[in-house]
Amino acid sequence: MNKYLAPHIRTEAKTGHMMMDVLLALVPLGIFSYINYGLRPLIIVLLTMLTAILCEAICCILRRRSLAALGDGSAAVTGMLIGLIMSPMVDYWVPMIGAAIAIFVAKAPFGGFGRNVFNPAAVGVAALTYCFPQQMFTYPAISSVTTLPLEMTLPADSIIVEQSIAAHLQAGAAPALSRTQLLLGDFAGPIGATAPLILVAFVTYMMVRRTASPWTVIPYFVTCVAIAWLFPLSGMGRIYGTVAQVCAGYVLFSGVFLLNDPVTTPRFWLGRLFYGFFTAILVMLLQRIGRVEASSCFAILIMNAVSPIIDRWSWHGLRRLKKLVHRVTGGGVNG
């Protein structure tokens, strides 16, 4: 009967605003990669975003939904994340396949935005890691290039290739980089994952805007740093080893973007805390024993699968604990 339910006034915050906040990352990271590699990385990211949006539109049409659903920006975010995690040398079609997998496999079959179990971007990257490891993990030496050519496939011998930090660490050797170089992102790696200071600044911005929850981000980074500190790698100093491990691979990138996807993380504050904590342990563990650089993507996917359970159990656990405390303290007064 009553179509207009209370409350009769709502906040201005909308789902789209949160996604726009994430899309804003394109500005600093885009400038950073343009300075390093020229236009090529920007084209990669934009093409991936367009593919993701196109795939989302196809899904909307297939599911007889209004195309207005594209306005929430979630497809663009998925595309952007996949694009940012690519090597600047990658062929244009590789991330586009990743975006299509993300939307067609990880998102649409589960019912679209808000219902996906796994983070679509992480699924896309994980699939690419297995299909095209050569393409994904070959990085140009940052000191030797200023502008990458824009052709579809870069000729193999025209560019000096360098190993990423994660590859160095897996080989058990210290990368030949100073600490300043590490912090400023002056090393070979994915388009958007090699700028630690930008990423940390951006996650702070997201926490202030409440797009990212401090309950996940802070435990994640604290645990990552703690593990790197407590279990140092042989052959390098403790502090240097810690910085190198946190900057290596996708550790930072996952903590800033993949970890804060609201759909696949727990929603209760204690659940978020556990989620950040366990993800960090898994990320660091896979970093040490895993074979691929993208280990943090797999860690996130594993944690996505258990996040609803973490969420519920932490809530129930806290309730029970409170009741117990109440009984113990209150019982003394009454009895």
Partner 1 sequence: MQLFPRGVILPFQKGKTLMRGVEEMPAPCAVRLPVAMAQAESPIAHLAEDTPLATGQELCRQGDLPIRSPISGTLEGSVVINHALFGDLLCADIQPDGEAEERLPIVPEEELTPESILNIAREAAVYDELDGSPLWQKLQQWKLPQSGRANDCILVADATENDIYGSSAWAVLMEQPRLVLFGLQAAAKALGMSRYHIATLLPRHRRRVLKRAIGRENVYTVEDEYPVTQFADDKLTVYRIGVQACLALGRALKQGICHTSAIVTVAGDGVPAARNIRVPFGTDLSAVLSACQAETDVRLVLGDAMTGTTCPDLHTPLMPGITTVLAMKHQPIRVPKPCIGCGRCAEVCHARLLPYEIVRRLENMHYERLQHLSPADCDGCSACSYVCPAGRDVAADVLKAGEAKGMYLTWGEDDNE
Smallest gap, in angstroms, from Cβ of residue 326 to partner 1? 13
Contact with partner 1 (CB under 8 A): which of 33, 213, 287, 295? Answer: 213
Residue closer to partner 1, measured from CB, 20 or 282: 20
Contact with partner 1 (CB under 8 A): which of 23, 47, 267, 282? Answer: 267
User: Taking CB under 8 A as the rule, does residue 11 contact partner 1?
Assistant: yes
Distance of alpha carbon 193 from alpha carbon 216, whole angstroms: 19
Smallest gap, in angstroms, from Cβ of residue 261 to partner 1? 9
User: Taking CB under 8 A as the rule, does residue 205 contact partner 1?
Assistant: no
Assess whether the previous peptide bond of 175 is cis (omega < 30° from 0).
Answer: no
Residue closer to partner 1, measured from CB, 47 or 117: 117
3-state secondary structure the chain: CCCCCCCCCCCCCCHHHHHHHHHCCHHHHHHHHHHHHCCHHHHHHHHHHHHHHHHHHHHHHHCCCCHHHHHHCHHHHHHHHHHHCCCCCCCCHHHHHHHHHHHHHHHHHHCCCCCCCCCHHHHHHHHHHHHCHHHHCCEECCCCCCCCCCCCCCCCCCCCEECCHHHHHHCCCCCCCCHHHHHHCCCCCCCCCCCHHHHHHHHHHHHHCCCCCHHHHHHHHHHHHHHHHHCCCCCCCHHHHHHHHHHCCCHHHHHHCHHHCHHHCCCCHHHHHHHHHHHHHHHHHHHHHCCCCCHHHHHHHHHHHHHHHHHHHHHHHHHHHHHHHHHHHHHHHHC
Contact with partner 1 (CB under 8 A): which of 33, 129, 245, 265? Answer: 265
Smallest gap, in angstroms, from Cβ of residue 135 to partner 1? 32
Residue closer to partner 1, measured from CB, 179 or 322: 322
* Cα→Cα distances 111→151, 208, 261, 267, Å: 37, 30, 16, 19
Specify the stretch interacting with partner 1 by CB under 8 A; choose among 3-11, 87-95, 249-257, 275-283.
3-11
Residue 65 structure tokens = 């939904």
User: Taking CB under 8 A as the rule, does residue 56 contact partner 1?
Assistant: no
Specify the stretch interacting with partner 1 by CB under 8 A; choose among 12-20, 39-47, 226-234, 285-293.
12-20
Smallest gap, in angstroms, from Cβ of residue 137 to partner 1? 32
Contact with partner 1 (CB under 8 A): which of 31, 61, 65, 111? Answer: 111
Contact with partner 1 (CB under 8 A): which of 96, 206, 263, 273? Answer: 263
Residue closer to partner 1, measured from CB, 11 or 180: 11
User: Taking CB under 8 A as the rule, does residue 15 contact partner 1?
Assistant: yes
Specify the stretch interacting with partner 1 by CB under 8 A; choose among 1-9, 134-142, 175-183, 294-302.
1-9
Smallest gap, in angstroms, from Cβ of residue 232 to partner 1? 36
User: Taking CB under 8 A as the rule, does residue 235 contact partner 1?
Assistant: no
Q: Which of residues 113-142 bind partner 1 (CB under 8 A)?
A: 113-115
Q: Which residues bind partner 1 (CB under 8 A)?
A: 2-11, 13-15, 17-18, 72, 111-115, 210, 213, 262-269, 272, 311-312, 315-316, 319
